[in-house]
Amino acid sequence: MNLKTYPLLAARSLALGLLAALALSPTVASAQTSTKVMRIIVPYAPGGPIDVTARLMAERVKDTLGTVIIENRPGGGGNIGADLVAKAAPDGLTIGIAAVATHAINPWLYSKMPFNAATDFAPITQMLRVPNVLVMNADTAARLNINSLADLIKYAKANPAKLNYGSGGNGSAGHLAGEMFKKDAGIFALHIPYNGGNPAQLALLSGQVDFNFDNLATASANIKAGKLKALAVTTATRSAALPDVPAVAETLKGFAIDTWWGLVAPAATPKDVVAKLNQAFVAALNSPEAKTRFAALLAEPVASSPEQFGAFMKAELAKYEKVVKASGARVD
């Protein structure tokens, strides 16, 4: 699935349902003791899981941090909104979402970036991750006698250049996951890019392509219906949403690629302010209500310290440099 369109495509109906629920308890309610307004910049349009979870977090921290509003600033694959955060006053009143696209992939996809993903932000905490899943058309898998990831690799090696896979476009999550898989498995499969994640999934369902790396939130309904066969999830370990489906890493050691996002502030934000923000948002992430709502989006909470999130983003940036350059994908 294309990461730049993921927030609008993945779990759309669930996201809109959660937005409606949140509308009954306004996100922008303020604490009696605070006169300042904090804003969370979401670098994507309203309605997707990233936007919904940001609104949920704003609701959960209002008693601690006061009035919190969500400001959607989509465009440039997330770069426009992220740049607003990077250039905001470092007073703790403007923070924003850092996603795998904005802080790990885009720096290598775009020839010019308005910000430096490695130096212009102060990490607060990772929020969530959503697994991707390697899926085949169920009829294709049965015809080729492929029941596992090992079967797929074995078939690809015995039948060079006979497999293909679809994605939501060049540089999308599905494309990069496919290229990483091909490299690690030592196989070849022709990449067929589509204009978005939905057309790519339709191509898979109709048998036009052999396999896809899709987002679990959008693939889950067709997996449950038996139309798609899930061979492996792409997180480092198995997903609680599909506990019987192995991780790719169980066959290809070290393989890990998923959709994640978290919170960051401008780089010069004082450490004590970052610590206060971390404490409030980690508590919100760990609340039972939040975990229940995250589960509806098939998202896994990953609360962390600023240092842990910073190290994670640094490692992701280095990982995707290799993946994007190997894929040859460019946006401009």
* Separation between Cα atoms, residue 212 and residue 214, nearest integer Å: 6
pLDDT of residue 331: 81
Is 106 found in the same domain as 21?
A: yes
In a domain, 1, yes or no: no
Where a domain ends, among 200, 231, 250? 250
* Separation between Cα atoms, residue 64 and residue 23, nearest integer Å: 20
pLDDT of residue 32: 38
Whether pLDDT at 43 is above 80: yes
Q: CATH number of the domain that 160 lies in?
A: 3.40.190.10
Where a domain ends, among 250, 269, 287? 250
Is 246 found in the same domain as 138?
A: yes
**Nearest Cα residue to 70 out of 96, 34, 26, 39:** 39
> pLDDT band for position 136 (50/70/90)?
very high
pLDDT of residue 35: 64
pLDDT in tens, 52-92: 999 999 999 999 999 999 999 999 889 999 999 999 999 99
- Percentage of residues in the chain having pLDDT higher than 70: 89
Total count of domains within the chain: 2
What's the predicted TM-score (pTM) here? Answer: 0.81
pLDDT of residue 217: 81
Q: CATH number of the domain that 296 lies in?
A: 3.40.190.150
Is 271 found in the same domain as 171?
A: no
Domain that holds residue 125: 6-130+259-327
Whether pLDDT at 179 is above 70: yes
Whether pLDDT at 31 is above 60: no
Where a domain ends, among 250, 272, 297? 250
Q: Give me 282's structure tokens.
A: 């980690």
* Separation between Cα atoms, residue 241 and residue 234, nearest integer Å: 13
Residues in a beta bridge with 42: 72
| CB-count exposure of residue 184 (10 Å: 0-12, 13-18, 19+) | middle
In a domain, 154, yes or no: yes
Q: Quickly list H helices, 26-172.
A: 49-60, 62-65, 79-86, 100, 106-109, 138-143, 149-158
* Separation between Cα atoms, residue 264 and residue 287, nearest integer Å: 20
Q: Scan for tokens 């609680």, then name that residue.
A: 240
Bigger pLDDT: 309 vs 330: 309
> pLDDT band for position 30 (50/70/90)?
very low
pLDDT of residue 9: 44
- Give 111's contacts (C-beta < 8 A, 6+ positions apart): 330, 332
Whether pLDDT at 24 is above 70: no
